[in-house]
Structure 1
Amino acid sequence: MQAKQEQDTEIRERMWKEMGKSPFVMIGLVGSHEHSEPMTAQLDPDANGEFWFYTNRTNRIAKGGEAMAQYVAKGHDLFACIHGTLTEETRPEIIDKYWSKQTEAWFEGGRNDPDLMMLRFELKDAEIWEGDQSLTGMFKMLTGQTIKPSEAGRHAEVSL
């Protein structure tokens, strides 16, 4: 049990590290019949259970609520499905903390655009897959042999 918890923690930490390198996710509201959409997550390495999005008040996720975000690492060797709750972020210090020229380009009125809003994604749980295959697993895949789960990478279900 201890080894499994350590592995899950290691995989979760890797997810945060990879998201820091490429913070793009697909996000949608649970129960909505609208498609998920790409968003750029604003990450804080010290905030291990939340991240943020700048958006506008007419965006399909603006009403908030229960949500799912899907993430694929740049190297396509880590995948995550993250479940949580979207809530409007109203703290000016958080809104200002992540503001950048790149963000400003999306809002005609800049930081004072009346349509600007920030959403906080509070993580509840996630399912994460690492796709690092062993050398044996890679050989089996190339030759059409059956790959054992232990040869295909690691998997974790984590509560956050």
Structure 2
Amino acid sequence: MSKTDTPQEKLWHLIKDMKFAMFTHRHADGKLHAHPLTTQNRAIDEKGMLYFFVSKATELGQRVQADGNVGLSYGDPGKDTWVSITGTATVSEDRALKERLFNPMVKAWFPGGLEDPNLELIEVHIDHAEYWDIHESKMTQLLKMATAAVTGTPPTMGDHKELNMG
């Protein structure tokens, strides 16, 4: 993160190419459930929100209305970048926001477009984010792990930081 990057900009830099998040929420029976969802943002605004279209035919919107505490996980194994986000989810009825975010890929799931009776928008206010961003090659990582195994000193690889989204 450069000195000029805000936490939102750093977070967006990490997840912008990882379009899919595992969206974890609490089910009615108290257990955690996760769903793969497509992030609809083109950036993260100053409010620190992420957006997801979901179907009213599922219970996801009902679940976040009952308990808005959610977790989002993003991962890019090829780049060794991992992001964990906790936030508060709500169902948005903001028509202008839906219009701004709706795109042809969303239409594949909601053929009725913005008028589709199953279309629902969930917004997640980011409360906390943590990331692991490994810059070393796989060979260097293996060498560091082997050295750590011999020396008993855990390896240091890449960046691991928490972002204050306040």
1:1-160 to structure 2, matched below 5 A, reads 13-30=9-26, 32-48=30-46, 49-63=48-62, 64=64, 65-73=68-76, 75-133=78-136, 137-141=141-145, 144-146=146-148, 151-160=156-165
Gap runs ≥5 in structure 1: none
Q: TM-score, normalised by structure 1?
A: 0.80
Q: CA separation in 1, counterparts of 2:157 and 2:6? A: 17
Equivalenced residues, count: 153
Local SS of the residue matching 1:103: helix
Deviates more, 1:13-22 or 1:85-94: 13-22
Q: CA RMSD in A?
A: 2.8
Task: State the AA in 2 paired with 1:139.
Answer: L
% identical aligned pairs: 24
Counterpart AA for 2:40: Q
- The alpha carbon displacement at 1:33 in A equals 1.5
TM superposition shift of 1:6: 6.7
**Separation in 1 of the partners of 2:7 and 2:13?**
10
Contact kept in structure 2, 1:23 and 1:43, CA below 8 Å: no
Q: Is the 8 A contact 2:25 2:71 kept in 1?
A: yes
Q: Which runs of 5+ in 2 are unaligned?
A: none
